[in-house]
Amino acid sequence: MKGRLHLNKFKKTETGLQGMIIFEPTVYADDRGFFLETYNKKDFESLGFRKEFVQDNQSHSQKGVLRGLHRQVAHPQGKLVRVLSGEVFDVGVDVRKESETFGRWFGIILSSENKKSLYIPEGFLHGFLVLSQEAEFAYKCTDYYYSEDEDGILWNDPEIGIKWPLDLVGQPILSQKDKNLKSLNLIQ
Protein backbone atom coordinates (compact mmCIF):
# COMPACT_ATOMS: atom_id res chain seq x y z
CA MET A 1 0.00 0.00 0.00
CA LYS A 2 1.47 3.36 -1.05
CA GLY A 3 2.53 5.63 1.78
CA ARG A 4 2.18 2.94 4.43
CA LEU A 5 4.98 2.85 6.98
CA HIS A 6 5.87 -0.82 7.32
CA LEU A 7 7.22 -1.97 10.67
CA ASN A 8 8.07 -5.61 11.21
CA LYS A 9 5.53 -7.10 13.58
CA PHE A 10 7.64 -10.11 14.60
CA LYS A 11 10.68 -10.73 16.76
CA LYS A 12 12.94 -13.61 15.66
CA THR A 13 15.06 -15.60 18.13
CA GLU A 14 17.52 -18.36 17.21
CA THR A 15 17.37 -21.55 19.31
CA GLY A 16 20.93 -22.85 18.86
CA LEU A 17 19.79 -25.59 16.46
CA GLN A 18 20.36 -24.55 12.85
CA GLY A 19 17.12 -23.42 11.24
CA MET A 20 14.96 -23.77 14.36
CA ILE A 21 13.52 -20.34 15.17
CA ILE A 22 11.14 -18.76 17.68
CA PHE A 23 8.84 -16.01 16.37
CA GLU A 24 7.03 -13.60 18.69
CA PRO A 25 4.25 -11.45 17.24
CA THR A 26 3.40 -7.89 18.16
CA VAL A 27 0.11 -7.96 20.06
CA TYR A 28 -2.23 -4.97 19.81
CA ALA A 29 -4.37 -5.07 22.94
CA ASP A 30 -6.92 -2.81 24.59
CA ASP A 31 -9.93 -3.20 26.90
CA ARG A 32 -11.87 -4.94 24.08
CA GLY A 33 -9.33 -7.73 23.58
CA PHE A 34 -6.40 -8.10 21.21
CA PHE A 35 -5.33 -8.47 17.58
CA LEU A 36 -2.18 -9.99 16.12
CA GLU A 37 -0.86 -11.42 12.90
CA THR A 38 0.29 -15.02 13.31
CA TYR A 39 2.12 -15.09 9.98
CA ASN A 40 3.02 -12.49 7.39
CA LYS A 41 5.15 -13.66 4.47
CA LYS A 42 6.72 -10.23 3.86
CA ASP A 43 7.61 -9.74 7.53
CA PHE A 44 9.06 -13.24 7.84
CA GLU A 45 11.08 -12.74 4.63
CA SER A 46 12.45 -9.44 5.97
CA LEU A 47 13.81 -11.52 8.88
CA GLY A 48 15.54 -13.90 6.46
CA PHE A 49 12.88 -16.63 6.69
CA ARG A 50 11.77 -17.84 3.27
CA LYS A 51 9.51 -20.88 3.30
CA GLU A 52 6.51 -21.85 1.24
CA PHE A 53 3.69 -23.45 3.21
CA VAL A 54 1.31 -25.87 1.49
CA GLN A 55 -0.83 -27.33 4.29
CA ASP A 56 -2.30 -26.15 7.61
CA ASN A 57 -3.14 -28.62 10.40
CA GLN A 58 -4.89 -28.33 13.74
CA SER A 59 -5.20 -30.76 16.64
CA HIS A 60 -7.01 -30.84 19.97
CA SER A 61 -5.62 -32.81 22.90
CA GLN A 62 -6.24 -33.23 26.61
CA LYS A 63 -3.79 -32.73 29.47
CA GLY A 64 -0.95 -35.22 29.49
CA VAL A 65 -1.22 -36.20 25.81
CA LEU A 66 2.22 -36.54 24.26
CA ARG A 67 2.33 -36.60 20.46
CA GLY A 68 5.62 -37.54 18.84
CA LEU A 69 8.38 -37.70 18.08
CA HIS A 70 7.50 -37.73 14.35
CA ARG A 71 8.99 -36.84 10.97
CA GLN A 72 8.58 -37.66 7.29
CA VAL A 73 11.61 -39.18 5.55
CA ALA A 74 11.30 -38.75 1.75
CA HIS A 75 8.98 -35.73 2.05
CA PRO A 76 10.34 -33.84 5.08
CA GLN A 77 8.05 -31.19 6.49
CA GLY A 78 9.11 -27.91 8.00
CA LYS A 79 6.48 -26.85 10.55
CA LEU A 80 5.56 -23.44 11.94
CA VAL A 81 3.70 -24.41 15.12
CA ARG A 82 1.66 -22.43 17.64
CA VAL A 83 -0.99 -22.90 20.32
CA LEU A 84 -4.46 -21.43 19.83
CA SER A 85 -5.69 -22.28 23.33
CA GLY A 86 -3.97 -23.87 26.29
CA GLU A 87 -0.30 -24.66 26.79
CA VAL A 88 2.15 -27.26 25.47
CA PHE A 89 5.80 -28.13 25.85
CA ASP A 90 6.95 -28.30 22.23
CA VAL A 91 10.12 -30.11 21.14
CA GLY A 92 12.22 -30.40 17.99
CA VAL A 93 15.10 -32.88 17.61
CA ASP A 94 17.73 -32.50 14.90
CA VAL A 95 18.11 -35.86 13.12
CA ARG A 96 19.83 -34.55 10.00
CA LYS A 97 22.87 -36.86 9.77
CA GLU A 98 25.08 -34.13 8.25
CA SER A 99 24.16 -31.57 10.93
CA GLU A 100 26.57 -30.37 13.60
CA THR A 101 23.67 -30.58 16.08
CA PHE A 102 22.54 -34.13 15.20
CA GLY A 103 20.73 -35.70 18.15
CA ARG A 104 20.29 -32.40 20.03
CA TRP A 105 16.88 -31.14 21.06
CA PHE A 106 15.25 -27.85 21.92
CA GLY A 107 12.04 -27.43 23.90
CA ILE A 108 9.85 -24.42 24.65
CA ILE A 109 6.50 -23.71 26.22
CA LEU A 110 4.05 -22.45 23.62
CA SER A 111 0.75 -21.10 24.85
CA SER A 112 -2.24 -18.97 24.00
CA GLU A 113 -0.82 -16.54 26.58
CA ASN A 114 2.70 -16.08 25.15
CA LYS A 115 1.50 -16.37 21.51
CA LYS A 116 4.93 -17.55 20.34
CA SER A 117 5.44 -19.70 17.24
CA LEU A 118 8.26 -22.17 16.68
CA TYR A 119 9.65 -23.19 13.32
CA ILE A 120 10.84 -26.81 13.22
CA PRO A 121 12.95 -27.33 10.07
CA GLU A 122 12.74 -30.13 7.56
CA GLY A 123 14.66 -33.17 8.82
CA PHE A 124 13.74 -32.61 12.48
CA LEU A 125 11.59 -34.78 14.69
CA HIS A 126 8.69 -32.98 16.32
CA GLY A 127 6.58 -33.66 19.39
CA PHE A 128 4.63 -31.92 22.11
CA LEU A 129 3.20 -32.55 25.58
CA VAL A 130 -0.06 -30.87 26.65
CA LEU A 131 0.35 -29.08 29.99
CA SER A 132 -3.08 -27.40 30.28
CA GLN A 133 -6.47 -29.14 30.74
CA GLU A 134 -6.70 -29.18 26.93
CA ALA A 135 -4.96 -27.49 24.04
CA GLU A 136 -5.65 -26.49 20.45
CA PHE A 137 -2.48 -26.75 18.39
CA ALA A 138 -2.04 -25.38 14.84
CA TYR A 139 0.77 -25.66 12.35
CA LYS A 140 1.71 -24.72 8.82
CA CYS A 141 3.69 -27.30 6.80
CA THR A 142 6.16 -26.94 3.93
CA ASP A 143 5.13 -30.29 2.39
CA TYR A 144 2.05 -32.48 2.34
CA TYR A 145 1.43 -35.32 4.78
CA TYR A 146 2.18 -38.84 3.52
CA SER A 147 1.28 -41.49 6.10
CA GLU A 148 3.51 -44.11 4.44
CA ASP A 149 6.50 -41.75 4.77
CA GLU A 150 6.20 -41.13 8.52
CA ASP A 151 8.54 -42.52 11.13
CA GLY A 152 9.82 -41.39 14.48
CA ILE A 153 11.69 -41.99 17.70
CA LEU A 154 10.45 -42.86 21.16
CA TRP A 155 9.59 -39.78 23.20
CA ASN A 156 11.85 -40.94 26.05
CA ASP A 157 14.84 -42.22 24.05
CA PRO A 158 17.81 -42.05 26.45
CA GLU A 159 20.22 -41.08 23.65
CA ILE A 160 18.31 -37.83 23.15
CA GLY A 161 17.43 -37.24 26.82
CA ILE A 162 14.56 -34.79 26.45
CA LYS A 163 13.61 -33.28 29.81
CA TRP A 164 9.82 -33.42 29.47
CA PRO A 165 8.01 -31.56 32.32
CA LEU A 166 6.24 -34.74 33.48
CA ASP A 167 6.01 -33.34 37.02
CA LEU A 168 3.22 -31.11 35.64
CA VAL A 169 1.17 -33.92 34.07
CA GLY A 170 2.18 -37.32 35.44
CA GLN A 171 2.50 -40.30 33.09
CA PRO A 172 2.04 -39.17 29.47
CA ILE A 173 -0.85 -40.42 27.34
CA LEU A 174 0.52 -41.96 24.14
CA SER A 175 -1.01 -43.45 21.00
CA GLN A 176 -0.20 -47.09 20.29
CA LYS A 177 1.81 -45.91 17.27
CA ASP A 178 3.95 -43.64 19.46
CA LYS A 179 4.53 -46.42 22.00
CA ASN A 180 6.05 -48.56 19.23
CA LEU A 181 8.54 -46.04 17.80
CA LYS A 182 12.25 -46.91 17.62
CA SER A 183 15.36 -45.43 19.22
CA LEU A 184 17.69 -42.82 17.71
CA ASN A 185 20.42 -45.37 16.93
CA LEU A 186 18.00 -47.19 14.59
CA ILE A 187 17.01 -44.14 12.52
CA GLN A 188 18.20 -44.24 8.93
- 169-186 b/e (C-beta count within 10 Å ≥ 16 → b): beebbbeeebeebeebee
- Please pick, among 139, 144, 145, 146, the residue that the annotation labels catalytic: 139
**Which residues, 6 or more positions from 182, have their beta carbon under 8 angstroms from its beta carbon?**
151, 152, 153, 154
Residue 82: strand pairing partners: 117, 138
* Spatial separation of the C-alpha atoms in residues 168 and 44, rounded to whole Å: 34
- Please pick, among 6, 70, 119, 144, the residue that the annotation labels catalytic: 70
* CA-closest candidate to residue 93, choices 128, 67, 69, 117: 69
* Spatial separation of the C-alpha atoms in residues 75 and 142, rounded to whole Å: 9
Contact 69, 126 (CB under 8 A): yes
For the question of residue 39 being annotated catalytic, the response is no
* CA-closest candidate to residue 151, choices 104, 183, 105: 183
For the question of residue 119 being annotated catalytic, the response is no
Write out the catalytic residue numbers. Answer: 70, 139
